[in-house]
Amino acid sequence: MSSTRMAAAAGFCLASVFAAGAASAQVKVGAVLSVTGPASFLGDPEKKTLELYVDEINAKGGVNGQKLQLVVYDDGADANAARTFATRLIEEDKVVAMIGGTTTGATLAMMPLFEEAQIPLISLAGAIQIIEPVRKWVFKTPHTDKMACEKIFGDLKQRNLTTVALISGTDAFGKSMRDQCVAVAPKTGITIAHEESYGPRDSDMTPQLTNIKGKAGVQAVINPGFGQGPAIVTRNYRQLGITLPLYQSHGVASKQFIDLAGPAADGVRLPAAALLVADKLPDSDPQKPVVTGYTKTYQQKTGQPVSGFGGHAYDGLMIFVDAAKRAGSFDKAKVRDEIEKTKNFIGTGGVVNMSPTDHFGLDLSAFRMLEIKGGDWTLVQ
């Protein structure tokens, strides 16, 4: 008799524990971001964006009746650290999905772990290697540098320019974009007549630009690069009085570039996401409500100007949340299938249409060609 009573009591206790567990159950979403270190200007807005929107989603009642709990680790732009944190997310935190890493290196280091654990990963890094070849559990939101090259080449074609010179930074971003540009140039009928490079911390690029200036036949100059290098290239370009059209990459698509390059930036063209020119988009633009909404929220809550990088994090989180809603649960396999079925998702980066062969889903329309005029962006029609 007493033993049945005890069993009943034990059963009751267990049941109440389970009930309590279910009531406060939170679904953990992982993020390994480069919040500090050399890529902090990417990781910092990404972290802020994720925190901001997870709070907002929870305030509205969460997803599928459950609250989200964001678990962020800072890899300091170190791929080894990222891998360690990835293991912790999988084994200790038992996350249902992962948003990150910030850098290509970190993403490539973490991908195999999530593939093996069968947890969806939405990367915020640029390189095309993340989604080519397609891996079952890996997705990404930011534009690729190949698209930037194609967009620039398309614009050149429209201006009847076919022969260009490249001056690229020797950092990872500059190198990768340079390689992509060189690879797609023949397909688009563009000839790269001359190539120069500079170190990411160089303070004067006039020798390289002098060589480009002296090269016969060059009709335009493209500068794949990142950080302060492109600003110095732009200044030196005007210093030498070169009048050829100058193209920068999406890597410098921020107000900071205009501030640093000053009046020299006038006339520079670059491909960039719609987020950057939110207030200049026509009202008919499908992205207008999303990008103005994000801009407003981010600026209000953080007091800082938006960057495309935070936008990528927004897109990643929302693609996951939408997929989980459609799946009706946080079952990893179901959520993965739904992420893959994402269609007509309007994010800050563009309109996303994923498929089993495309885990990225943006096309060239995601990039707008911008020209800097009088210290501000203008849309090139």
359: tokens are 């885990």
Half-sphere exposure (Cβ direction) of 35: Cα atoms closer than 13 Å: 11
**DSSP codes joined into one string, 196-246:** EEE-TT-S--HHHHHHHHTSTT--EEEE---TTHHHHHHHHHHHTT--S-E
In the complex with another protein, which residue's Cβ is closer, 44 or 315? 44
Is 208 a binding residue for another protein by CB under 8 A? The answer is: yes
- 3 state DSSP class of 161: coil
As measured in angstroms, the least distance from the Cβ of 41 to another protein is 5
Is 302 a binding residue for another protein by CB under 8 A? The answer is: no
Is 239 a binding residue for another protein by CB under 8 A? The answer is: yes
Binding mask 27-66 for another protein (x = CB under 8 A): ---------x-x-xx--x----------------------
Is 263 a binding residue for another protein by CB under 8 A? The answer is: yes
Residue 192 makes CB contacts below 8 A (sequence gap 6+) with: 164, 165, 166, 181, 182, 185
Q: Which stretch binds another protein (CB under 8 A): 113-121, 148-156, 201-209, 290-298?
A: 201-209
Size of the site for another protein (CB under 8 A): 35
As measured in angstroms, the least distance from the Cβ of 85 to another protein is 20
Pairing of strands 163-169, 220-223: parallel
**DSSP codes joined into one string, 281-320:** S-TT-TTHHHHHHHHHHHHHHH-S---HHHHHHHHHHHHH
Q: Which stretch binds another protein (CB under 8 A): 262-270, 330-338, 341-349, 365-373?
A: 262-270
In the complex with another protein, which residue's Cβ is closer, 39 or 281? 39
- C-alpha to C-alpha distance for 78 and 71, rounded to whole angstroms: 18
Query: Of the candidates 103, 104, 176, 228, which one interacts with another protein according to CB under 8 A?
Result: 228
**Residue 77 · residue 38 · CB < 8 Å:** yes
**Cross-strand bridge partners of residue 63:** 66
In the complex with another protein, which residue's Cβ is closer, 35 or 339? 35
Half-sphere exposure (Cβ direction) of 222: Cα atoms closer than 13 Å: 37
Is 286 a binding residue for another protein by CB under 8 A? The answer is: no
- C-alpha to C-alpha distance for 38 and 153, rounded to whole angstroms: 30
Q: Which stretch binds another protein (CB under 8 A): 7-15, 94-102, 238-246, 364-372?
A: 238-246
Which residue from 312, 298, 303 is spatially nearest to 361, judged by alpha carbons?
312
In the complex with another protein, which residue's Cβ is closer, 194 or 332? 194
Is 232 a binding residue for another protein by CB under 8 A? The answer is: yes
In the complex with another protein, which residue's Cβ is closer, 117 or 258? 258
Q: Which stretch binds another protein (CB under 8 A): 179-187, 204-212, 314-322, 358-366?
A: 204-212
68: tokens are 């989200």
Query: Of the candidates 79, 161, 240, 379, which one interacts with another protein according to CB under 8 A?
Result: 240
Half-sphere exposure (Cβ direction) of 96: Cα atoms closer than 13 Å: 25
Half-sphere exposure (Cβ direction) of 375: Cα atoms closer than 13 Å: 4
Q: Which stretch binds another protein (CB under 8 A): 228-236, 288-296, 353-361, 364-372?
A: 228-236
For residues 110-149, which are near another protein according to CB under 8 A? Answer: none
Query: Of the candidates 21, 65, 133, 214, which one interacts with another protein according to CB under 8 A?
Result: 214
| Residue ranges that bind another protein, judged by CB under 8 A | 36, 38, 40-41, 44, 170, 196-199, 201-204, 206-208, 210-211, 214, 227-228, 231-232, 235, 238-241, 256, 259-260, 262-264
